[in-house]
């Protein structure tokens, strides 16, 4: 494995205000986030020579460069698989910097998801496309499996059957995330915690998922500045050193899950990433002070805790019920409120939160932070990071 440990760092973070109707185009949102990240790092647009984003981002890299005054580019790339791309953008940026393909790379993601084109909208035409995706979806669409919530619900139901988990176990994740968001001024649900009773009363989306098991829709953008660890030390803020960065896919992987794998009670792709992450970083779960876990749907938070080694299979519900993921627990999860509470920017806002935790400037700062684990979208080929203090 090519090791990136300690060679690069995130030196700047920037975000727009998270809203439900930004009134700005996705290009404007992306440009504003890039400007904010460059200002945060103290880097001029002309110093940027690389751009990385998601395959699903509507903004062409050249358009973003033109809009922000970025000049010549020696590196640009796009990472696929939706939210699974989030940490992958930093991985590719770090690889570019470590290998000399670029000196300063900006990663960005912009969404007009709420007021523009709604992400994850069902499309029954997917199963008719003359492509590998069409062939895959042709097995799902006739049975009504046309949304991410439906795909996750299948795995969640099997997990419940295997380990005795309940809807209340999933609900405790939602309650914790909303409690954290309630004290984060940047969160959309700032000042609006929920109770487990409110979670249980929220309407069904796809059983066993209630509305409050599902992440919100958001308008907004996030950008990150990645450069060498050496250069980052001379910039404006304490850098978040990239100690580990890994992408991975599980056997029998499909777009959002693997319905034909022998075991549907886990997330094997996250297991692949976890093994690589611990190997590259030289760390173990016990070395992590806080985790930013991709919480698009609450059941997959439980499965991630298990795949990453924070508890044994089937025991995540006990960890959550015992307050283990709360701000004062053994492993605070998503101190910013995550995508359930802060905003859904495909996980990029979680990476920004990890940087704030390393800097010691987070709204809900965890004490004694040296290493932060960040995961990207789950159920898809995915990615993860460990960010550390210098």
C-alpha neighbours within 13 Å on the C-beta side of residue 365: 12
What are 8-28's pLDDT values in tens digits?
999 999 999 999 998 999 999
For 8-116+215-388, give the CATH class. alpha beta
Residue 229 neighbours by CB under 8 Å, 6+ apart: 6, 7, 8, 9, 239, 241, 242, 390
State the Cα–Cα distance between residues 187 and 181, nearest whole angstrom: 6
Q: pLDDT-derived band of residue 376, with 50, 70 and 90 as boundaries?
A: very high
Compute the average pLDDT of residues 313-331.
98
What are 260-317's pLDDT values in tens digits?
788 889 999 999 999 999 999 999 999 999 999 999 999 999 999 999 999 999 999 9
Sort residue 346 into left (φ over 0), alpha (ψ -120 to 50) or beta: left
Q: Is the pLDDT of residue 144 over 90?
A: no
pLDDT of residue 248: 95
Are the CB atoms for 53 and 62 separated by under 8 Å? no
DSSP string spanning 203-216? PEEETTEEGGGBPP
pLDDT of residue 120: 58
Q: pLDDT-derived band of residue 147, with 50, 70 and 90 as boundaries?
A: confident
Q: Is the pLDDT of residue 133 over 90?
A: no
Q: Is the pLDDT of residue 44 over 80?
A: yes
Query: Which of 81, 108, 159, 344 is an active site residue?
Result: 344
Domain boundaries, the chain: 8-116+215-388
pLDDT of residue 252: 83
Are the CB atoms for 49 and 102 separated by under 8 Å? yes
Compute the average pLDDT of residues 193-207.
97
Are the CB atoms for 371 and 387 separated by under 8 Å? yes
Q: Is 81 a catalytic residue?
A: no
Residue 378 neighbours by CB under 8 Å, 6+ apart: 83, 84, 267, 269, 270, 294, 296, 300, 303, 304
Give kind and range of the element (H or E) at residue 112: strand 104-112
Q: Is the pLDDT of residue 168 over 90?
A: yes
pLDDT of residue 312: 98
Task: Give me the chain's average pLDDT, please.
Answer: 94
Q: Is the pLDDT of residue 137 over 80?
A: no
**Which of 349, 261, 255, 251 shows the shortest CA–CA distance to 18?**
349
Q: Is the pLDDT of residue 217 over 70?
A: yes
Enumerate helices (H) and strands (E) in the chain, giving the number of each: 13, 11
pLDDT of residue 123: 61
For 357, phi then psi, to 5°, come to: -65, -40
Write down the pTM of the prediction: 0.96
What are 242-260's pLDDT values in tens digits?
999 999 999 888 767 777 7
DSSP state of 212: G
Q: Is 344 a catalytic residue?
A: yes
Helix, strand, or coil (residue 95): helix
What are 185-198's pLDDT values in tens digits?
999 999 999 999 99
State the Cα–Cα distance between residues 335 and 349, nearest whole angstrom: 12
Compute the average pLDDT of residues 102-109.
98
pLDDT of residue 259: 76
What percent of the chain is modeled with pLDDT above 70? 95
Q: Is the pLDDT of residue 339 over 70?
A: yes
State the Cα–Cα distance between residues 90 and 355, nearest whole angstrom: 12
Query: Which of 81, 108, 159, 294 is an active site residue?
Result: 294
Count of all residues that appear for the chain in the document: 390
pLDDT of residue 134: 78
């Amino acid at each position: 494995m090519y090791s990136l440990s300690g060679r690069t760092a995130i030196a700047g973070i920037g975000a727009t205000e998270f809203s439900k109707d930004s009134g700005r185009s996705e290009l404007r949102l992306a440009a504003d986030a890039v400007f904010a990240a460059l200002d945060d790092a103290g880097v001029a647009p002309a110093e940027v020579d690389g751009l990385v984003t998601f395959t699903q981002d509507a903004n062409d890299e050249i358009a973003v460069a033109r809009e922000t005054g970025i000049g010549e580019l020696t590196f640009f790339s796009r990472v696929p698989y939706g939210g699974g791309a989030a940490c992958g953008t930093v991985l590719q940026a770090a690889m570019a910097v470590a290998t000399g393909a670029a000196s300063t790379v900006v990663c960005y993601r912009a969404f007009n998801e709420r007021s523009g084109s709604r992400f994850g909208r069902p499309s029954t035409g997917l199963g008719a496309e003359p492509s590998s995706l069409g062939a895959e979806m042709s097995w799902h669409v006739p049975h009504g499996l046309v949304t991410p919530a439906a795909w996750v619900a299948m795995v969640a139901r099997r997990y419940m059957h295997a380990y005795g988990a309940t809807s209340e176990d999933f609900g405790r994740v939602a309650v914790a995330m909303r409690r954290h968001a309630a004290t984060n001024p940047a969160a959309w649900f700032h000042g609006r915690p929920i109770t487990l009773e409110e979670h249980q009363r929220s309407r069904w989306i796809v059983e066993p998922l209630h509305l409050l098991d599902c992440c919100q829709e958001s308008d907004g953008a996030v950008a990150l500045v990645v450069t060498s660890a050496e250069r980052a030390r001379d910039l404006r803020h304490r850098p978040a050193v990239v100690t580990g960065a890994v992408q991975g896919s599980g056997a029998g992987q499909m777009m959002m899950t693997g319905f034909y794998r022998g075991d549907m009670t886990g997330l094997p792709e996250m297991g692949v990433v976890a093994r690589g992450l611990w190997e590259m970083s030289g760390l173990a779960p016990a070395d992590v002070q806080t985790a930013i876990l991709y919480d698009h749907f609450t059941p997959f938070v439980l499965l991630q805790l298990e795949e990453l080694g924070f508890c044994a299979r089937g025991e995540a519900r006990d960890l959550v019920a015992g307050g283990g993921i709360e701000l004062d627990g053994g492993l605070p999860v998503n101190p910013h409120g995550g995508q359930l509470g802060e905003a859904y920017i495909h996980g990029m806002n979680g990476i920004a939160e990890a940087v704030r935790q390393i800097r010691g400037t987070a709204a809900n700062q965890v004490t004694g932070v040296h290493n932060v684990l960040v995961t990207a979208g789950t159920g898809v080929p995915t990615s993860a990071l460990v960010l550390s203090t210098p």
